[in-house]
Structure 1
Amino acid sequence: MKTALLLVALLLAGTARAQIGRRFPSEKKVVKDPVTGTLLTFLTSTSAGDSKIYQTHNQWTADGQWLIFRSNRAKDEALAVNEKTGDIVQVSEGSYTGMLNVARKAMKLYFMRNLPGAGKERPAGVQIVEVDLAKVFADSKAGKMQPASAYQRICGTTPPELQAGGDMALDGDETWAYFRVGRDEAARHLAPGTKLEAEFGPRHMGAGPAGIAAMNVQTGAIKYVVSVPFQVGHIQTNPWVPGEIVFCWETGGKSPQRTWTVQADGTGLRPLYPEAETEWVTHEAVISKDETAIAIMGHRKIPGSTKEVAAGSAVSGANPGQEAAWGPSGTREKPTGLGIVNHRTREMTIVGQTPSGSGLWHVSGSPDGRWAVGDDFSRSIYLIDRHTREMRLLSTGHKETAADHPHPTMSPDGTKIEIQSAMLSADGRSMNICIIPVPQEWLKRKY
């Protein structure tokens, strides 16, 4: 009898720990960057395995007060941290998979959830779930949480034959959610005679086919968007132009043609930035209604040169992409740097590049067109004034041993940058959520 009661108590305790609305104490602290003097605001500061959302997606809630992230504080769940108070709140219950999608117009969060029993031997659909963030925050603050069903709504379930999963992206109208489909479904939508691409590079990735489908988050209706003869990687949308999708050919490194765009009805499929064999294009991110930022890498040695380009740190894993099998790309024998591609004119401008090292790697920018930002292999963060082309080192020391890269993302108002950092980590790996301000003297500039 005692054993049974103990098991019930443990199960109830586990449920409480996993409950939506659970609150965690503030860990907020301000730290001066030891090199640049920039005041960094760490919204989390303990070693709990925090990760920000990828830089292709929105980070801030529609009211601008909370940032959504994931953490081992509540494993496989989404959390939010209030930028002013530092309060941390669990905002999902029942787990999620793939990308977290924070709506910009409404206080909503969307994500995918695997159905029980899904696997290779037993394929199943996935649910797309909507979370009412405003209600979660209000009830959590009042200490009067209801069951998870009061805050989470199942928008729909994808048919098993779609083999849906991976990245998900919320359309600019916040009505449709786009996601990857499996190879079998993608093959059914390819035009007869389409030549499939083979794997590319030493990671043996990139082979097709792949495809994109969508669910209407209001009705649960499903529509097919497009199939391509290669492996689809990150899917993102243009938040300011409904129906515009950007995605990549994923190889784990250099791609024959990295960036692609298509309309939600499947028309207009084309390379976003047509790249040359010598260009290593990566980490594209839509930054304004007409623009996507890209990194054109300059991280590899020039074969046979007497003066080799510095290729980054000797720390294991900090300087990837050196294998010869990637081909003749990624060196500074050709132009490299942070590029801005205009979707309408199709013009590309390089707005800056580090003088040495890997060059800029993960990139973002402000919607008003003033700033661009990027990190490099050393985990340093650089800000670029797009009007003057001046580049400034904002912060460094985020540890090359970190579990992941900083992935800088500019805030919607263009006044600050969110990164993930291991600066405060005792083990050199565990990361925290950190905010870097755009310098006041730059914000005051008039052009």
Structure 2
Amino acid sequence: MTSRSILAATLPVLLALAFSTAAHAQIGKRFPSERKVVKDPVTGTMLTFLTSKPQGDSKIYPTHPQWTSDGKWLVFRSNRVKGEAMAVNEETGDLVQVTEGGYTGMLNLAQKSMKLYFMRNDSAPGRLQIVEVDLARLLADSKAGTMKPADAYQRICGTTPEQLGAGGDMALDADEEWAYFRVGAGEAGKHLAPGTKIEPAFGPRKMGAGPNGIARMNVRTGEIRHVVSVPFQIGHIQANLFNPGEIVFCWETGGKSPQRTWTVKADGTGLRPLYPEAPYEWVTHEAVISKDEVAMAIMGHRPIPGGGGGVDGAATGVGGANPGQEEGWGITGTREKPSGLAIVNLRTREMTIAGQTPSGSGLWHVHGSSDGRWAVGDDFSRSVYLIDRRTREMITLTAGHKTTAADHPHPTFNADGTRIQIQSAMLSEDGRSMNICIVPVPEAWLKRK
């Protein structure tokens, strides 16, 4: 066979493959519903699994909104299309690809408009784009089968200069005009006061060294302004979605921090510890839950030295399924001192403990309803606990999500405080792959006055 005949024979196959690949990566692509309602085998709670296949699903982190502004769609990360984000309709189970060209870091759902914001790598090394997606138009065209090219739905808000060293978490302000993001050591150092002591790495994971900073970009004009620099590593940047111009972030060490939680205003003023912690306290997983409140976990997951026994079977193995058990964290995170799901008031600075599990690791990832009625948390067993903040009553809402799961449930309330989204391996055959799941607040609790 001649080279020309070989080309003629293979060209249709190559074109078909190219078309298949392009179609597979196209924004607006729809997938069959996987929605299933499953009864929790332990608690009897009816769980709605919006995905149920092993496709590498994971929810947005609890520091950020999960639902679109109309309350109908949840956006999540998935390997259905590698590197792209998906949306699922809570009622119908419809699955739609909502990005094209990839993203990096956090997915940000606007709560005043049907928009999605995220960062992605620019074609020039060291630079990042902030991208806006018009979800309303995208979802409507996808349903109608009238999809247009990706740039009809995606808009580049601006590109960060290489010298900023931008990356990490991104958070959309409540005004939906500014996006906050982390900047690297070089840029951060320019804005520190002379003589500032730069913090070294802290703890056995060798993380936490500074400096780092936060900058912001105007998503309408692309203007960039510096917000603040600190002498340590920044993690989990989040905006108070009820109060424009207010940021919460953390000193990230991969575990116990010398001072975990921080807050600052968008203009760089008001920098202070959110909850000034004691050396023996292991504070983690802060999440803004209302205009004035931040939920966080004060951990009780480590055995008291000389106290006998461990925390629980899943938590005590070094290098096992759960974090925080390595040597080198000091005498922290034990129940020798108060621990549990804490809620801090941003205005009065008062802290209250909403609840704590009677044994085991204690509450780990935490959240709360914006009306102040409920708090929720998971633990190392992957169980999820609901707390009535008024009565302090606590129940196990759902369990059986497999300690071998790739991650924790990360419970997060919807806007009206009636439902909680988690990620779960309950349906997974390999015990690791996770799916997107909705857990209702019990009807009897919702009827409480």
Task: Say if 2:356 is the partner of 1:353.
Answer: yes
Of 370, 379, 402 in structure 1, the residue corresponding to residue 405 of structure 2 is 402
Deviation at 1:67, TM superposition (A): 0.2
- CA–CA distance in structure 2, aligned partners of residues 308 and 236 of structure 1: 34
Q: Is the 8 A contact 1:172 1:241 kept in 2?
A: yes
Q: Is the 8 A contact 2:27 2:150 kept in 1?
A: yes
Of 234, 253, 258 in structure 2, the residue corresponding to residue 256 of structure 1 is 258
Deviation at 1:317, TM superposition (A): 2.7
CA RMSD of aligned residues (A): 1.2
Matched position secondary structure for 1:324 = coil
The residue number in structure 2 matching 1:319 is 322
1:103-118, aligned counterparts within 5 Å?
A: 103-118=110-125
The residue number in structure 1 matching 2:4 is none
Task: Say if 2:76 is the partner of 1:69.
Answer: yes
Q: What is the TM-score when the length of structure 2 is the normalising length?
A: 0.96
- CA–CA distance in structure 2, aligned partners of residues 311 and 323 of structure 1: 15
The residue number in structure 2 matching 1:293 is 295
Deviation at 1:116, TM superposition (A): 2.6
- CA–CA distance in structure 2, aligned partners of residues 324 and 4 of structure 1: 60
Q: Read off the aligned partner of 1:241 and give its amino acid letter.
A: N
- CA–CA distance in structure 2, aligned partners of residues 261 and 113 of structure 1: 26
Q: Is the 8 A contact 1:364 1:409 kept in 2?
A: yes
The residue number in structure 1 matching 2:3 is none
- CA–CA distance in structure 2, aligned partners of residues 266 and 392 of structure 1: 41
Rate the CA distance shift 1:311–1:283 in 2: closer, same or farther, 3 A.
farther
Task: Say if 2:170 is the partner of 1:136.
Answer: no
The residue number in structure 1 matching 2:60 is 53
Of 9, 19, 24 in structure 1, the residue corresponding to residue 26 of structure 2 is 19
- CA–CA distance in structure 1, aligned partners of residues 195 and 13 of structure 2: 63
Deviation at 1:321, TM superposition (A): 1.0
Deviation at 1:214, TM superposition (A): 0.6
Which deviations, in whole Å up to 9, do the C-alpha atoms of 1:156-199 show, x marking residues without a partner?
11111101111000001010000001111111111110000011
Q: Read off the aligned partner of 2:216 and give its amino acid letter.
A: A
Task: Say if 2:83 is the partner of 1:80.
Answer: no
Q: Is the 8 A contact 2:405 2:431 kept in 1?
A: yes
- CA–CA distance in structure 2, aligned partners of residues 127 and 43 of structure 1: 30
The residue number in structure 2 matching 1:265 is 267
Matched position secondary structure for 2:328 = helix
The residue number in structure 2 matching 1:441 is 444
Which deviations, in whole Å up to 9, do the C-alpha atoms of 1:23-78 show, x marking residues without a partner?
00111010000000000000000111101000000000010000000111011111
Of 360, 365, 369 in structure 2, the residue corresponding to residue 366 of structure 1 is 369
Which deviations, in whole Å up to 9, do the C-alpha atoms of 1:283-327 show, x marking residues without a partner?
000000000000000000000114654464467633321223101
Q: Is the 8 A contact 1:254 1:281 kept in 2?
A: yes
The residue number in structure 1 matching 2:193 is 191
Structure 1 unpaired stretches of 5+: 119-123
Q: Is the 8 A contact 2:376 2:384 kept in 1?
A: yes
Rate the CA distance shift 1:300–1:153 in 2: closer, same or farther, 3 A.
same
Q: Read off the aligned partner of 2:177 and give its amino acid letter.
A: T
Of 373, 389, 392 in structure 2, the residue corresponding to residue 389 of structure 1 is 392
Matched position secondary structure for 2:13 = helix
Task: Say if 2:102 is the partner of 1:99.
Answer: no
Which deviations, in whole Å up to 9, do the C-alpha atoms of 1:354-381 show, x marking residues without a partner?
0000000000000000000000000000
Q: Is the 8 A contact 2:314 2:320 kept in 1?
A: no
- CA–CA distance in structure 2, aligned partners of residues 317 and 185 of structure 1: 37
Q: Is the 8 A contact 2:205 2:254 kept in 1?
A: yes
Deviation at 1:403, TM superposition (A): 0.9
Of 127, 136, 144 in structure 2, the residue corresponding to residue 125 of structure 1 is 127
Q: Read off the aligned partner of 2:398 and give its amino acid letter.
A: S
- CA–CA distance in structure 2, aligned partners of residues 250 and 271 of structure 1: 14
- CA–CA distance in structure 2, aligned partners of residues 107 and 201 of structure 1: 41
| Ranges of 4+ aligned residues in structure 1 off by more than 6 Å | none
Task: Say if 2:438 is the partner of 1:431.
Answer: no
Structure 2 unpaired stretches of 5+: 1-6
Matched position secondary structure for 1:116 = coil
Deviation at 1:10, TM superposition (A): 2.0
Question: What percentage of residue pairs aligned between the two structures are identical?
Answer: 74
Q: Read off the aligned partner of 1:346 and give its amino acid letter.
A: R
Q: Read off the aligned partner of 1:267 and give its amino acid letter.
A: T
Q: What is the TM-score when the length of structure 1 is the normalising length?
A: 0.97
- CA–CA distance in structure 1, aligned partners of residues 384 and 116 of structure 2: 28
Deviation at 1:8, TM superposition (A): 3.4
- CA–CA distance in structure 2, aligned partners of residues 323 and 68 of structure 1: 34
